[in-house]
């Protein structure tokens, strides 16, 4: 009798779990929802591709007609020498966006989008931890104070996927949660009129820490990667239901709040610089078929706002005989 009862309990538990997963997998957003597309743009990435960054940005702004941007105030570019700040590039980007009423998410911190994830100016690399953190806070304060009066700033993003500690641990080290709290607190103190977005990995992130930390939650969304541990090019074995369950579960536990896909993969994941990779290899990692798959996949999740990653690459590919990515993106952002 005891064995029968245990079997019954097990069966009931499995049934309850299945029912719960079915409930959590439901897309509770509007049946016909307005989808918003934006892009991340980085002078840092444009430079890596050997592009004229202004020309590239203006093309994204005026030809693609993107009206939602994420910019990154990379520390080495904004404070190349201790105490000497460079605002030329960010000033240009934000002012040009403002002219056409384009919104801006501005990311600040040491860990920002783009390999090697954590970006430090040369003069700061050998500073003691406490001194380095003091300099980071000063840099954040300077950036926020300079741009908080621009009405097209939508959110401040503080750090990038800070809780994804295993990724790029060699360059970023362990997360100092107390310091992250200080960064967020500083930004809110300097600009109480705006909310802070904290991001996490879509596939590996637990989400709950980033979701609790920020006023707005942002997730990345990747399908095709290159696994570093001898596996090679790899597609995550997931469907859009994975993101719906994850999103619904986190809302159920911690309550609803604004949530967006801050980084939707739309360029190839490579182990070497793009400009050193043959075009055919790039196309095998992110051809127009995979590009379209990413768009279709993301549209079936519970999100309705997507910032695509790869705009600089689309422009570079157009210059190298492959305008299909640029043309497809134009259909999304028109």
Domains belonging to the chain, first-starting first, are 34-333 (3.20.20.80)
Average pLDDT of 217-234?
84
pLDDT at 116: 85
Q: How far is CA 230 from CA 145, 226, 234, 238, in A?
A: 46, 9, 11, 21
pLDDT of res. 16: 46
Answer yes or no: is pLDDT of 228 > 80: no
Specify the 3-state DSSP secondary structure of 221: strand
pLDDT at 232 over 80: no
Determine the pLDDT at residue 334: 74
**Residue 325 exposure: Cα atoms within 13 Å on the Cβ side:** 29
pLDDT > 70 in the chain, percent: 89
**306 membership: H or E segment, kind and range:** strand 305-309
**Summary mean pLDDT of the chain:** 90
According to DSSP, the β-strands at 36-41 and 305-309 are parallel
Q: Which residues contact 219 (CB under 8 A, 6 or more apart)?
A: 199, 200, 201, 202, 205, 207, 243, 259, 260, 261, 262, 263, 303
Q: Strand pairing partners for 218?
A: 199, 260
Tens-digit pLDDT profile for residues 54-79: 999 999 999 999 999 999 999 999 99
Single out the residue of 206, 301, 311, 303 nearest to residue 261, CA to CA: 303
- List the alpha helices (DSSP H) in the chain: 2-24, 43-48, 53-62, 75-78, 88-99, 129-147, 169-172, 177-190, 208-213, 240-254, 279-285, 288-299, 311-319, 324-333
Q: Residue 25: its pLDDT value, please? A: 47
Amino acid 229: pLDDT = 62
- What's the pLDDT score for residue 2? 58
- Work out the pLDDT band at 333, boundaries 50, 70, 90: confident
d(CA 272, CA 109): 25
Check pLDDT > 70 for residue 14: no
Name the percent of the chain lying above pLDDT 90. Answer: 81
Strand-pairing partners, residue 104, are 69, 153
Q: What is the pLDDT of residues 254-280, one digit of tens each?
A: 999 999 999 999 999 998 899 999 999
Whether 138 has a pLDDT exceeding 90, the answer reads: yes
Residues ≥6 apart with Cβ < 8 Å to 110: 75, 118, 119, 120, 136, 159, 172
pLDDT in tens, 34-54: 899 999 999 999 999 999 999
User: Measured at the alpha carbon of residue 57, what is the angle toward residues 54 and 62, in degrees to the nearest 5?
Assistant: 120
Query: Which pLDDT value is given to residue 22?
Result: 46
pLDDT > 90? residue 131: yes
pLDDT of residue 226: 81
User: Cα(302)–Cα(212) distance, rounded to whole angstroms?
Assistant: 19
Which pLDDT score, from 0 to 100, does residue 230 have?
61
The rounded distance, in Å, linking the Cα atoms of 261 and 221 is: 7
Q: How far is CA 198 from the centre of its chain?
A: 10
Answer yes or no: is pLDDT of 6 > 90: no
What mean pLDDT is predicted for residues 242-253?
Answer: 94
pLDDT-derived band at 19, boundaries 50, 70, 90: very low
Confidence band for 86, pLDDT divided at 50, 70 and 90: very high
Better-predicted residue by pLDDT, 226 or 180: 180
């Amino acid at each position: 009798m005891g064995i029968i009862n245990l079997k019954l309990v097990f069966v009931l538990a499995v049934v309850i779990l299945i029912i719960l997963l079915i409930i959590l997998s439901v897309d509770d957003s509007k049946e016909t929802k307005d989808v918003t597309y934006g892009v991340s743009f980085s002078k840092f990435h444009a430079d890596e591709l050997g592009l004229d960054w202004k020309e590239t940005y203006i093309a994204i702004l005026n030809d693609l007609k993107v009206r939602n941007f994420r910019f990154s105030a990379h520390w080495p570019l904004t404070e190349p020498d201790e105490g000497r700040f460079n605002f030329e590039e960010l000033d240009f980007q934000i002012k040009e966006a403002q002219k056409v009423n384009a919104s801006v998410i501005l990311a600040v911190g040491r860990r920002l989008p783009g390999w090697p994830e954590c970006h430090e100016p040369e003069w700061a690399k050998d500073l003691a931890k406490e001194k380095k953190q003091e300099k980071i806070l000063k840099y954040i304060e300077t950036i926020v104070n300079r741009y908080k009066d621009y009405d097209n700033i939508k959110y401040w993003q503080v750090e990038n996927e800070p809780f994804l500690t295993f990724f790029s641990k060699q360059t970023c080290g362990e997360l100092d949660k107390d310091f992250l709290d200080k960064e967020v607190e500083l930004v809110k103190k300097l600009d109480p009129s705006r909310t802070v977005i904290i991001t996490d990995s879509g596939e590996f992130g637990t989400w709950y820490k980033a979701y609790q930390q920020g006023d707005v939650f942002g997730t990345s969304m990747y399908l095709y990667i290159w696994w570093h541990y001898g596996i090679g090019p790899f597609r995550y074995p997931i469907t859009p239901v994975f993101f719906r369950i994850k999103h619904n579960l986190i809302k159920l536990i911690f309550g609803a709040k604004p949530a967006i896909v801050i980084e939707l993969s739309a360029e190839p994941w490579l182990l070497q610089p793009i400009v050193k990779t043959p075009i055919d290899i790039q196309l095998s990692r992110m051809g127009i078929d995979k590009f379209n798959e990413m768009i279709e996949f993301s549209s079936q999740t519970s999100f309705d706002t997507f910032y695509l990653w790869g705009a600089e690459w689309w422009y570079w590919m157009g210059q190298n005989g492959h305008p299909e990515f640029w043309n497809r993106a134009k259909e999304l952002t028109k």
